[in-house]
Amino acid sequence: MTSPEPINGEHPIAHHLIRSARIVADDGEESVAATVYCPLQERSTTVAECESCRRFHALHFDATARTTSVVCHAGPATPGEERADPLHGVGGPLDPETPIADIMTRDVLCVRPEVTVDELAALLVGHEISGVPVVDAEGRPVGMVSRADVLRAAQERGDTEESQRVTLQPDDIAPLDIEQGFHVYEPIKTTARDIMTPVVLQVHESASIRQAASLMAYEGVHRLAVTSDDGKVVGILSSLDVLRWFGRSCGYLIPVPARKRS
């Protein structure tokens, strides 16, 4: 990659890591919202916005760290940029004002409220994650679901799934040749909306580890949704992220998965 001349001679070229929020809908369809934190505008922007920005230079994929970044004339480096370096932060200052963007999970899986518990269980197991934000159509968090919520729902359901009586009307097309006057029982699907914690604890992407850790400890939760100015999920911060940062700051070489999730 060539390095173009800085615009106005004041902004060196810099990499800004792309964060992705993958949203799974009840029909299994996935949509991806890819954003970066723009240091000039001091807010999150979409990658599409970057590509039409005059400071944009290229998209860069780091095969080792498995991260993609926007390369543009907008230094200095945004938080989290150095995570590809395995020694980054090891023995560094134990600074509680470190931005959470430096340690949060940037590759976030989210679900829509209509996703069923069975689908949720498959997602949590398949992606080896302990919980996901539940988001609305705009990607704003409306709840949080954990493995414990899914297990509790499965235990409460037991072998006898709830059902609802459906009486056929004259104009209905009867399934399985059921005659008029008979009725069928349809199982009621438990969804993410039914089992989620409807209160979302969230922090702005510019918050510090001090603020986020205090909120987690005060509320007794293990994960926070990290949101941008427009309230959309751009990351997840878990208690394990904070512990990793603490251990690395104390000089321990604790691996940080480049694309780990919460």
Interface ranges with ligand SF4 (CB under 6 A): 16, 36, 38, 40-41, 45, 49-50, 53, 55-56, 70, 72, 74
Q: Nearer Cβ to ligand SF4, position 56 or 246? A: 56
Q: Are 69 and 60 in contact (CB under 8 A)?
A: yes
Burial 116-154 (b: 16+ CB within 10 A, else e): ebebbeebbeeeebebbbbbeeebbbbbbbbeebbeebe
Residues β-bridged to residue 236? 105, 225
CA distance 31 to 208: 29
**CA 11 to chain centroid:** 30
- Which element (helix H / strand E) includes 235? strand 233-238
Shortest separation between residue 220's beta carbon and ligand SF4, angstroms: 36
Q: Nearer Cβ to ligand SF4, position 46 or 180? A: 46
Shortest separation between residue 14's beta carbon and ligand SF4, angstroms: 8
Q: Which of 118, 155, 240, 142 lies closest to 197 in space, CA to CA?
A: 142
Q: Which of 216, 199, 198 lies closest to 207 in space, CA to CA?
A: 216
Q: Nearer Cβ to ligand SF4, position 55 or 83? A: 55
Q: Which of 106, 112, 139 lies closest to 33 in space, CA to CA?
A: 139
Shortest separation between residue 15's beta carbon and ligand SF4, angstroms: 10
Shortest separation between residue 52's beta carbon and ligand SF4, angstroms: 9
Shortest separation between residue 28's beta carbon and ligand SF4, angstroms: 32
Q: Are 39 and 108 in contact (CB under 8 A)?
A: no
Q: Nearer Cβ to ligand SF4, position 44 or 227? A: 44
Shortest separation between residue 71's beta carbon and ligand SF4, angstroms: 8
Q: Nearer Cβ to ligand SF4, position 13 or 145? A: 13
In DSSP notation, 191-204 reads BHHHHSBSSPPEEE
Q: Nearer Cβ to ligand SF4, position 31 or 41? A: 41
Which amino acid is located at 107 in the chain?
D
Q: Which of 261, 231, 224 lies closest to 100 in space, CA to CA?
A: 224
Q: Nearer Cβ to ligand SF4, position 15 or 223? A: 15
